[in-house]
Amino acid sequence: MLSSVPTDAAIQRIVPFIHVADVQRSIDFYALLGMECCARFGPEGRPYWASMRCPGGDLMIGAADGPVDPSTQAVMFYVYASDLSVMRRHLLLNGLEDGGDYTGGPRGDRVVFNPRYPDYLPDGEMRVHDPDGYVVLVATVREAVP
């Protein structure tokens, strides 16, 4: 049987850290979703690390040592927004490709798909692919998320 973790040894929070082909490009992309760059290291315009923040979450971004293959990205981000249609229009106006209905399989980077309305989330969710192929699922939230 596992023992309880002592309070002073328990983790306090968790922050995803992803490797990307171009840190500045990822900063720009996640800023479109409403995140703010809090810190970055590296030359102007070519940072090798950055920290992004939004209410309720943080993300660290680091330059990959080798090629980034979108078909092998095994991390998915689940984020919340108040209005999917407004978010989708914003992303399309800022250069993301319209992917239409998502039907499975990899479909490129910087793509936003039509919202879908599964039984478990009748207010909808929308799939977005970031510049490195990471999947960002945006769900509608009607109240503050803890």
| pTM for the model | 0.85
- Ranges under pLDDT 50 in the chain: 144-145
Q: Ramachandran region of residue 133, left (φ > 0), alpha (ψ -120 to 50) or beta? A: left
Tens digit of each residue's pLDDT (9 = 90 or more) over 122-138: 899 999 999 998 999 99
